[in-house]
Chains A and B, each alone.
Chain A
Amino acid sequence: MNIKSNKFWVIVIAAVLALCLVAVGIWTWWRNSQPEEEGLIAVVRLDGRIVAAVDLNKVTENYTQTFSGESGNSNTVEFAPGQVRVHDATCPDQICVSQGWADRTTLLPIACLPNSLIVEVAAAQDLGLDSISR
């Protein structure tokens, strides 16, 4: 083991370590520059208009809100921490109620066709899916 080869390895290792530090630095800077964890927004549309937009991450206790549209029917929507559902509705088929809870993994909006109401949780990227066929 001669001195020359030792010096060579020290330089290589130092260079690699320096690169490492730069990478950590860039990554930390990049991560800090990203916005804080985004809200999980439940959007309620009635007769084509947005009538409520609730950040489900900020809901601490369940509460309900009733939406009555042009059809004369109404849906009571329950907002909960991280999820949302139609609690009850005056529509004949009750499909919206039977759809149950929607959260950040729900790809299809909850829809009540007779009452023209849509409840959608924005972005379900967690699943790594773009859509669902059903």
Chain B
Amino acid sequence: MKRPFLLALACALLLTGCTGPAQPTHTPTSDPTAESTTFAMDTVMTFRLYGGTEEDLTAVTSRILSLEQDLSVTLEDSQVYALNHSGGEPVTAGEDFLALLALAKELGNRTGGALDVTMYPVVKAWGFTTSEYHIPDEDTLSALLANVDYTSVTVEGDQVTLPAKMELDLGAIAKGYAGEMAANLLRERGVTSAILNLGGNVQTVGSKADGSPWRIGVQDPQQTTGGYLGVLEIRDQAMVTSGGYERYFEEDGVRYWHIMDPHTGAPARSGLVSVTIVGDKGGLCDGLSTSLFVLGREKALDYWRTYGGFEAILIDDQNNIWVTGGLKNNFTLVADSPYTLNIVEE
């Protein structure tokens, strides 16, 4: 019996040698049936639909463009522009505008004002709207901060009032909300697999064509573009990151980024350099990524424990990563990572 057994073994080895190369390590994703890359809402948007049609793509694009038309702070016939130039008189707001105002107010209240949609004049003073950056002096900032207060925005029915001298900008939540609305529209139209990237905000519909989750890279905050520090697998959810590397300028060796602390009127220095939020609602994820960045790790995790409904990846300036419990089986660091991974349980 000895010889046949050895022969069988050799053959078994041969067999594995035969079938090995026929199985690819990554199952190839089938090609998108409709895709586009466009500019909208001051950013680049890439949409890929797997199974959807060009009509679905057109429907999504026009939904996003109409949101931009209503919510842009610079387009002169937008509802937000009308409010900012109303001199304190009531302005009629559409459904999306009202939904975003309600979200902004809720997040403002829950974060102790870490998200304030009336920060626009301060952001302008730093030059982040024009890329002509400069550091405003103390007096300028305190004068501007006197007119920053999201609680002064009042809503009655569809009438919105903003005190004169104040300016509102929904930029911190509008892109996430746009992704959420686009995903809803695709689902209504029967699209079961799609991935949208709205200027770095990822919105997924369903899972990949083969049923596996989407694999999304988390930008490495120490690299400007492209490099990622880990991969998160998600299905049918939004994933939004705010980081100090997105938009910034440097003066005398100090980096000034676009994420502002409404209490100081200056770039938020909380120790965090990047916050990623994963959840079902893109608008909420977008607002949380900004406001939890401002709050810092301790308060951000308190928020997560108190309100829940989302998961987070926090990265600090000491190369630590904190991943909330719900993501621990879905997040993978790249090999030889300089970062230390910590799992946060409730």
Contact = CB atoms under 8 A, between A and B. Distances in A.
A16 B15 CA distance: 8
Contacts of B175: none
A76 interface: no
17 contacts: A9-B4, A13-B11, A16-B11, A16-B15, A20-B11, A27-B18, A99-B224, A108-B44, A108-B200, A113-B39, A114-B131, A116-B39, A127-B217, A131-B202, A131-B217, A132-B197, A132-B216
Given A132-B200, A133-B239, A109 B4 contact: no
B239 A99 contact: no
B195 A108 contact: no
Contacts, number: 130
A134 B200 contact: yes
A113 B18 contact: no
Interface in A106-124: 106-109, 111, 113-114, 116, 118, 120
Contact of B216 (A30, A98, A113, A130): A130
A19 B43 CA distance: 55
A17 B37 CA distance: 51
Given A12-B8, A113-B43, A133 B202 contact: yes
User: Main SS of the interface on chain A?
Assistant: mixed
Contacts of A95: 131, 247
Interface string A88-112: 0000110100111010011111010
A92 B200 contact: no
Nearest to A26: B22
Nearest to A126: B26
Contacts of A125: 26, 28-29
B218 interface: yes
Contacts of A134: 200, 218-219, 225, 241, 243, 245-246
Given A13-B4, A100-B225, A118 B216 contact: no
Contacts of B28: 125
Interface string A1-40: 1000110011011001101100110110010000000000
A83 B226 CA distance: 13
A72 interface: no
Interface string B239-264: 11101011100000000000000000
Contacts of A24: 18
A102 B8 CA distance: 51
Contact of A23 (B18, B39, B240): B18
Contacts of B228: 129, 132
B310 interface: no
